[in-house]
Amino acid sequence: MLLNALQARSLYEFAYREKFAVLAINADSPAGIHDCLLAAKQVECPVIIETSLWQLEGISFGAGDALRGMRRYIADTAILANSDEFQSVPAIFHTDHIKGPKTREILGSAVTGLAVALNDVVLKLSPSSISLDASELSADQNIEFMNYLISLSKQSGRPVTLEMEAGVDSGLTSEDEVRRLVEGVEGKNPGYLYIFAPGLGSRHGHSADGYGEFSPDAVARNVKIIAACAGREIGIGLHGSSGLTDEQLRMAVLNGIIKVNWATDSLVSRSQFASEYYRENAERLQVSNKAFKVTAMDNGVNAYVSQHYVPVVAKRMRLLGGEGKNRGFWEYSASSGERRQDDSS
């Protein structure tokens, strides 16, 4: 089931409490969304479907229009995640790399709701949680933007759940920088940050040599600093996980990682499986072959990729400790939902 912003908060809290991380996958197409949900169903664990600007503007969703892409992406995810097949899977739709001149319009609209007309009904769609790509922003700009999104949430009456990042590709974020950022948001608007993503020594993309700076101990240090600043425990988001060893990931999760972004290796897998399909079916793809149409249709390659890709995703989910967590989450969500309702009354 696609979670709303308040349910997303419960999932991030639950992941921190239970010492597991939710795999956050950049899905490039509706077929990719389906495969991620299918893997999560098989493993009985939550999943984060996340999007970057290039997906929103890609041909599968917005075809050049990021806001149209956001509407289509959320709608596609909701239809699949809320179906009987995937109802038991806690699914989050999360914004990832969105930066540049369109950022304020895109993320502002995501907070206040993207209108979609269906016959005589107008629906408003929003992500489950939102992050800001701060790679081109100063600390002050980062803080200002986070507080701007919170102000929109308050004005519109629509809750928002935020991830804040800090130089994730710039080595290790200093303790002073972490304090400054967390206090800049939590000090003014407490209770909106549920993930903090500092630089931990890893980087986006793939590294054949690994990441020598990365240390699970740095995760634990950041958790303590953030808790001291915010007055509550907030889990850590890990960007750039493709070059890390299984042991590094396991230890990082135990130390407080609750969200692991996964894009490069995912894209490598899907593209390799697609290439295999076309190589193996070269003869069937000749127009004269009786099997041409069924082989050439999108469903042919999508079904082949799904068959081989889903086990790869499931393996990654198990590595992060999420297997079998769905039932516990739904119980926790029900109790935390009652608590949040009491707090607001």
Main-chain dihedrals φ then ψ at residue 113, nearest 5 degrees: 110, 130
Predicted confidence at residue 45, as pLDDT, reads 98
pLDDT surpassing 60 at residue 267:
yes
Residues 11-38: tens digit of each pLDDT: 999 999 999 999 999 999 999 999 999 9
Predicted confidence at residue 345, as pLDDT, reads 36
The DSSP bridge pattern shows strands 121-125 and 193-198 to be: unpaired
pTM of the prediction? 0.93
DSSP 312-341: HHHHHHHHTT-TT-HHHHHHHHHHHHHHHH
* Structural Rg of the chain based on CA atoms: 20
Mean pLDDT score across all residues of the chain: 92
Cα dist from 225 to 124, 144, 218, 234, 300, whole Å: 37, 21, 11, 10, 50
Predicted confidence at residue 344, as pLDDT, reads 46
Nearest to 189 by CA among 231, 226, 150, 153: 150
Among 137-151, 168-182, 272-286, name the one with the lowest average pLDDT. 168-182
Main-chain dihedrals φ then ψ at residue 30, nearest 5 degrees: -55, -35
Among 197-201, 234-238, 312-316, name the one with the lowest average pLDDT. 197-201
pLDDT surpassing 80 at residue 170:
no
- Contact by Cβ (8 Å): 76, 30: yes
More confident residue, 54 or 210: 54
Q: How confident is the model at residue 211 (pLDDT cuts 50, 70, 90)?
A: low
Helix (H) or strand (E) holding 108: helix 103-112
Q: How confident is the model at residue 162 (pLDDT cuts 50, 70, 90)?
A: very high
Predicted confidence at residue 204, as pLDDT, reads 63
pLDDT surpassing 80 at residue 342:
no
More confident residue, 203 or 320: 320
Q: How confident is the model at residue 57 (pLDDT cuts 50, 70, 90)?
A: very high
What average pLDDT score do residues 160-168 get?
A: 88
Q: 10 by DSSP, 3-state: which?
A: helix
Q: Which residues pair with 236 in a beta bridge?
A: 196, 257
Q: How far is CA 287 from the centre of its chain?
A: 41
Q: What is the DSSP letter of 157?
A: T
Residues 101-119: tens digit of each pLDDT: 999 999 999 999 999 998 8
Q: Which residues pair with 131 in a beta bridge?
A: 163
Q: How confident is the model at residue 172 (pLDDT cuts 50, 70, 90)?
A: confident
Domains present along the chain, CATH in parentheses? 5-329 (3.20.20.70)
| Residues 142, 147: Cα–Cα separation, whole Å | 9
Which of the given ranges, 1-5, 96-100, 120-124, 162-166, has the highest pLDDT on average? 1-5
The one-letter amino acid at 232: R
Main-chain dihedrals φ then ψ at residue 26, nearest 5 degrees: -75, 105
